[in-house]
Structure 1
């Protein structure tokens, strides 16, 4: 019996680790520009406008993809959905490596968005939640985010090494794309054999007739949409992500106001994008599970700290401050936001979202929560264009602080809701 439990535990963590590898690689092709922007222009004949248009259209597809996944994630087994999405990403990459016409390039980017955001991401979140019990939610989501960041870094640098080793040529870019394609393909095959099919219980009507799988899935969608707690958690994710969008402007702020040297830009970027992501996730998860025993409590405390630091930072005399202090304050804000981003779906367990509608809940949470990515960058960019110099950045930081204050109030309300639920049981 003990041996069987150990084997089950081992398979759980092996499945979790492989999911983490998939999460760290599935977006590499869709964000090929991050490492290969100039080579894409040079060897694929793409202009700035064409690359930007492809990213915008893919983002639009992703938004509607999250909506569609509210139905799909609980209708199709994760054993099918996750391998299908990863292997489909691989096939799209093989197609992309042929350096197709721009029309085909756009089609491939739309398919990549469908595979990553409609098929994989909500199903992965659902699977992570179901793999862990209530006391493990913070750690599992935290480790997932850290591992995803580590895998992202390793794969990106490996692809760059392949490109450089082949002389930074068109052939080198083709091989890098093929590498980005092969990794999720292999992981998809492995996960097909590791993941267990979803447990389906036959549901019957009062007259004894079996309810079809389609009807059960639609009932799950309706239950998710009517569940107030899912909406509360989703809007908390929305507030975290709104603050997260503002982190993008720390580097231009430090460059423009503090005259951050070029050498330090790279160091700051690596620490901010990779180091803090890998540290923030596990730390946020550990504090959530072992210290506070509540992801919502952690989010409320982190929101409060971020709001205070941002409010103070907004009005500091930056022109007379040292660059190291400016870097330390912005990195501290980023560290807290990354730790929040790692565990912001964990409260789904706290608010007692039924496990049988986890897929619908995570899809709805993804749709609402990641929505700021569709417009907040434009809002912040517009502010900086209309208010030049430090004034624009002060307004951006103040807006971020307002979102954080909103998070304090919403987290407090969610905690009161949780307390009422526990009192009534």
Structure 2
């Protein structure tokens, strides 16, 4: 009888583990499909101009609307992400994006297009992304956080490639016409709606506490606001946010390896596209699992890994600046930039994992992730302009050295912040 009980227990554990990882795969697929419509310009910039009659300025304005809604909306997501269940928010966001995509396929007026990108930002950045991070955090135990976030990033890279190339294939098969662009948009929309429906049946409801310590019924809005205030007052969350800030500031600089290789190494235009794919999708797919493995198996701490990786990044970039670029061949230059990029992608994959290390209570996971998103991703509002202005003001190798030196500065800032974070974690562990 005892043996039978053990067998049943093992069977239940295997079933639960299968469900966990199957749910994780659905979350990854959602994370890889939801942003394809808002990033339509990446694959269909010229068709958007030709068939939707948009100028460069108008496409840029749509992206600005997206950024504005994202920035303002993320403040609200601090409340939303823990007030409503992830089982509601994730499917709603995915299906919402798909419905907006269906409307976009009708090629609405310019103001309709601006509204689409505003809604893409609302569903994708305000009600979805912090909640997805929360769902991933709650899905894994303490020993799996690095791998979970690492595989999330890698998996999204794989889905990015599959979905994007599928849409391009549809566009080509349908004759690269206005109807073909509509077909590609509808493909993106259908994919994200289907994943949203599946998500509803796989993702579990959050347990929302609606009673106080005396067992009295309390308003859920009051509970959510108390959670927001608790998260805002938790200084460790802010330190994690600025850790992400420092890594993301360095990450933004990777974009400028492409013009660097063109201007300094004379990279042919035909190679630039291939390099760009490797630099983004390829490194994302490699960096995610590597970063997750190092965090969980070697360092046993995301914060400690980030500190070491930032140190390696700072030293590597200092060495890179001193290389004789004018005498080096193109392929050594490509290898050096991709090697540096790989280091950054291992960090980008796991820089939300410290949320678990600082022992953030599960009931404020969403608020914590929202705060981390607001400040962690804020370099996107200034870093590209900062780096670009350096290159415009100082053409040639001098401008690139300034950019790369600034990236070192952000890496050093990250080393300081992660050191503070590690000290906080040690104090928490002693107190606990």
The interval holding the TM-score normalised by the smaller chain is: over 0.9
Query: 1:99-114 alignment to 2 at 5 Å?
Result: 99-114=107-122
Answer yes or no: is 1:365 the counterpart of 2:372: yes
Answer yes or no: is 1:226 the counterpart of 2:243: no
Query: 1:180-195 alignment to 2 at 5 Å?
Result: 180-195=188-203
Tell me how far apart the structure 1 counterparts of residues 276 and 392 of structure 2 sit (CA, whole Å).
23
Answer yes or no: is 1:12 the counterpart of 2:25: no
Give the aligned partner of residue 273 of structure 2: 266
Q: Confirm or deny: 8 A CA contact 2:307 2:418 kept in the other structure.
A: yes
Query: CA distance change for structure 1 residues 140 and 205 in 2, over 3 Å: closer, same or farther?
Result: closer
**Matched positions, count:** 424
Give the aligned partner of residue 336 of structure 1: 343
More divergent stretch after superposition (78-87 vs 256-265) = 256-265
Moved over 3 A (4+): none
More divergent stretch after superposition (379-388 vs 213-222) = 379-388
Give the aligned partner of residue 55 of structure 2: 47
More divergent stretch after superposition (160-169 vs 270-279) = 270-279
Give the aligned partner of residue 300 of structure 1: 307
Give the aligned partner of residue 40 of structure 2: 32
Tell me how far apart the structure 2 counterparts of residues 205 and 278 of structure 1 sit (CA, whole Å).
46
Give the aligned partner of residue 197 of structure 1: 205
Answer yes or no: is 1:424 the counterpart of 2:421: no
Question: How much has 1:388 moved relative to structure 2?
Answer: 1.0
Question: How much has 1:205 moved relative to structure 2?
Answer: 5.7
For residues 57-101 of structure 1, the C-alpha deviation after alignment (integer angstroms, 9 at most, x for no partner) is 111111112111100000000110000000000100000000010
Give the aligned partner of residue 164 of structure 1: 172
Tell me how far apart the structure 1 counterparts of residues 431 and 72 of structure 2 sit (CA, whole Å).
37
Give the aligned partner of residue 255 of structure 2: 248
Tell me how far apart the structure 1 counterparts of residues 423 and 159 of structure 2 sit (CA, whole Å).
38
Q: Confirm or deny: 8 A CA contact 2:82 2:364 kept in the other structure.
A: yes
Q: Confirm or deny: 8 A CA contact 1:315 1:394 kept in the other structure.
A: no
5+ residue gaps, structure 2: 1-8
TM-score (norm 1): 0.98
Tell me how far apart the structure 2 counterparts of residues 98 and 201 of structure 1 sit (CA, whole Å).
44
TM-score (norm 2): 0.96
Answer yes or no: is 1:141 the counterpart of 2:145: no
Question: How much has 1:6 moved relative to structure 2?
Answer: 2.1
Tell me how far apart the structure 1 counterparts of residues 179 and 299 of structure 2 sit (CA, whole Å).
52
Question: How much has 1:321 moved relative to structure 2?
Answer: 1.7
Tell me how far apart the structure 2 counterparts of residues 8 and 199 of structure 1 sit (CA, whole Å).
19
Instruction: State the secondary structure of the residue aligned to 2:323.
Output: coil
Tell me how far apart the structure 1 counterparts of residues 328 and 18 of structure 2 sit (CA, whole Å).
52
Question: How much has 1:263 moved relative to structure 2?
Answer: 2.9
Query: 1:345-424 alignment to 2 at 5 Å?
Result: 345-424=352-431
Give the aligned partner of residue 70 of structure 1: 78
Tell me how far apart the structure 1 counterparts of residues 273 and 213 of structure 2 sit (CA, whole Å).
62
Question: How much has 1:316 moved relative to structure 2?
Answer: 2.6
Tell me how far apart the structure 1 counterparts of residues 381 and 161 of structure 2 sit (CA, whole Å).
25
For residues 169-198 of structure 1, the C-alpha deviation after alignment (integer angstroms, 9 at most, x for no partner) is 101000000001011100000010111110
Question: How much has 1:418 moved relative to structure 2?
Answer: 1.1
Answer yes or no: is 1:239 the counterpart of 2:232: no
Instruction: State the secondary structure of the residue aligned to 1:267.
Output: helix
For residues 323-364 of structure 1, the C-alpha deviation after alignment (integer angstroms, 9 at most, x for no partner) is 122111110111011110000000011111111100000000
Question: How much has 1:266 moved relative to structure 2?
Answer: 2.5
More divergent stretch after superposition (318-327 vs 29-38) = 318-327
Tell me how far apart the structure 1 counterparts of residues 386 and 378 of structure 2 sit (CA, whole Å).
13
Residue 125 of structure 1 is aligned with which of 133, 146, 149?
133
Tell me how far apart the structure 1 counterparts of residues 311 and 221 of structure 2 sit (CA, whole Å).
43
Instruction: State the secondary structure of the residue aligned to 2:128.
Output: helix
Tell me how far apart the structure 2 counterparts of residues 334 and 82 of structure 1 sit (CA, whole Å).
31
